[in-house]
Structure 1
Amino acid sequence: MKLMSWNCQGLGRALTVRNLRDLVMKFHPSIIFLMETKMRSSRAMRLRRRSGFQHDLYVEPLGLSGGLAVWWKENISLTVLFKSKNIIHVEIASTSLKIPKFVTFVYGPLKERDRWIVWDLLRSLVAGEQET
């Protein structure tokens, strides 16, 4: 199983879409995490389907910034345990995995004061304190 993470800085441009397709064709990821999509989920779903991913999870952008997406293939079982504007925490199961794995996708905030909030949230996720 391959996992790919990319800060795409907006999915609306033709060059970005072409680069995404090239990366998917080259590396054949089973799961892809996209940061800074700057795109509503309704538009991103079309791109996800054209890219060969059957499932999706979105955190909508705030205004013209942010936005997270996780896309995964049919042979993956992904359960969302927590999501916010900066973090998506999931449990992943697959026939290629002996036991389920926990994965936390993080899009770090630009401002230093906001980073402490994300770090505290990550610590609480590790400690099992956070609810969905």
Structure 2
Amino acid sequence: MDLLKLLFWNCRGAGNKTFKRNLVEILRSHKPEILILMETKITFSKMGNFFTRLGFTASTIVDPIGRVGGIWQLWDTTQVNVRASSVGPQVIHATVHKEDYEEWVLAAVYASPNPLLRENLWNELEEVADKMDKPWLVARF
């Protein structure tokens, strides 16, 4: 059975030359099938075809508001199938399927620094947990 490789990075800004150079090197070294970038600070559309050229041909995106936040979930469709089930400003829930693996749920969480919004997120996650019937990975940044 092949491993399923995920890479989570609170990049604190995407799009500059240093980010791109470092990401290419990290991808070359680790070869993840799923890439989660947090706190991107720019809109995904400003990246052009950068990720497609790297093999990440599908995505679920929560762009930042101004220069705050941002969650980008990207994947290589030749390796894994990812289907977003819930997308919000603080979390992307997605079902992940890879051949020879049990289907599971990935929650990519970027919690707001606003205490009220963050409390709403934790309540939402508790509700999801009560109903969850699959393996569930919650990755918080």
Q: TM-score range by the shorter chain?
A: 0.7 to 0.9
Amino acid at match of 2:82: L
Distance 2:73 2:130 in 1: 23
Q: 1:83 aligns with which of 67, 84, 87?
A: 87
Amino acid at match of 2:83: T
Distance 1:11 1:50 in 2: 16
Q: Which residue in the other structure is 1:18 paired with?
A: 21
The answer to whether the Cα contact below 8 Å between 2:41 and 2:69 also exists between their aligned partners in 1 is: yes
Q: 2:74 aligns with which of 71, 74, 92?
A: 71
Distance 1:71 1:117 in 2: 26
Matched, 1:33 2:54: no
Gaps in structure 2 of 5+ consecutive residues:
133-141
Q: CA deviation at 1:45?
A: 4.7
Residues 78 and 45 of structure 1, relative CA distance in 2, 3 Å threshold? farther
Tell me how many residue pairs correspond in the alignment: 128
Distance 1:21 1:108 in 2: 27
Q: Please identify, of 57-66 and 109-118, the stretch whose mean Cα deviation from structure 2 is larger.
A: 109-118
Q: What fraction of aligned residue pairs are identical, expressed as a percent?
A: 27
Distance 1:79 1:18 in 2: 29
